[in-house]
Amino acid sequence: MTFLRLLSRTKLYWGLAVLFAIGVAFSPVTSKGRNIFLTSGNLSDVLRQVSITGLVAVGMTMVILIGGIDLSVGSILALGTVLAALLLTQPGFTVAAGIALPITFLVAMAGVALIVSFVSGQLGTGKSTATATAIHQGRRRSTLSAIWLPLAAGIVVAGLLTLWLASQAGSQFGMPGVLIAVSCVGLAVGALNGAIIVSGRLQPFIVTLAMMVTMLGLARLVAGQDSAVVAVYSGTNATVDIDLLRAVLWGVLPVPGLFFLAALALFMVVLKFTAFGRYVYAIGGNEEATRLSGIAVMPVKIATYAFSGMLACIAGVLYVAQYRQGKPDAGVGLELDAIAAVVIGGTSLMGGRGSLAGTLVGVLIFGLLTNILQLHNISTNVQLVMKGLIIILTVLLQERNLGQIFASLRASPQAEAQDEKTYNKLEETP
CATH no. for residue 317? 1.10.3470
Do residues 408 and 263 both lie within one domain? no
Specify the number of domains making up the chain: 2
CB burial of residue 366 (10 Å; 0-12, 13-18, 19+): buried
Do residues 337 and 411 both lie within one domain? no
Question: Would you say residue 124 lies in a domain?
Answer: no
- CA end-to-end span of the chain, whole Å? 53
Backbone angles phi, psi at 239, to 5 degrees: -70, 155
Task: Say how far apart CA 323 and CA 242 lie, in whole Å.
Answer: 11
pTM of this structure: 0.86
Do residues 195 and 334 both lie within one domain? yes
Do residues 320 and 177 both lie within one domain? yes
Question: Would you say residue 202 lies in a domain?
Answer: yes
Do residues 414 and 284 both lie within one domain? no
Among 209, 254, 246, 281, smallest CA distance to 61 is for 281
Give the C-alpha distances (Å, rounded to integers) separating 176 from 56, 171, 183: 20, 15, 11
Do residues 411 and 292 both lie within one domain? no
- State which residues form the domain around 408: 400-430
Among 55, 267, 296, 305, smallest CA distance to 187 is for 305
Question: Would you say residue 85 lies in a domain?
Answer: yes
Do residues 429 and 317 both lie within one domain? no
Model pLDDT, residue 8: 61
Q: Tell me how crowded residue 109 is: count the other CB atoms within 10 A of its CB.
A: 22
Residues in CB range of 276: below 8 A, 6 or more apart? 270, 300, 303
Backbone angles phi, psi at 92, to 5 degrees: 95, 175
Task: Say how far apart CA 24 and CA 221 lie, in whole Å.
Answer: 46
Do residues 345 and 260 both lie within one domain? yes
Model pLDDT, residue 12: 75
Q: Which DSSP letter does residue 325 get?
A: E
Question: Would you say residue 263 lies in a domain?
Answer: yes
Question: Would you say residue 8 lies in a domain?
Answer: no
Are the CB atoms for 196 and 207 separated by under 8 Å? yes
Q: Tell me how crowded residue 178 is: count the other CB atoms within 10 A of its CB.
A: 30
Model pLDDT, residue 386: 80
Question: Would you say residue 102 lies in a domain?
Answer: no
Do residues 420 and 294 both lie within one domain? no
* Helix or strand (DSSP H, E) at 360: helix 356-375
Task: Say how far apart CA 313 and CA 331 lie, in whole Å.
Answer: 11
Do residues 82 and 203 both lie within one domain? yes
Question: Would you say residue 158 lies in a domain?
Answer: no
Query: For the chain, which ranges sit under pLDDT 50?
Result: 125-137, 402, 423, 426
Q: Tell me how crowded residue 153 is: count the other CB atoms within 10 A of its CB.
A: 17
Helices (H), 170-296: 175-200, 204-223, 255-273, 275-285, 287-292
Amino acid making up residue 129: T
Question: Would you say residue 365 lies in a domain?
Answer: yes
Do residues 414 and 333 both lie within one domain? no
Do residues 354 and 418 both lie within one domain? no
Model pLDDT, residue 139: 52
Model pLDDT, residue 150: 82
* Predicted confidence (pLDDT) per residue in 69-87, tens digit: 999 999 999 999 999 998 9
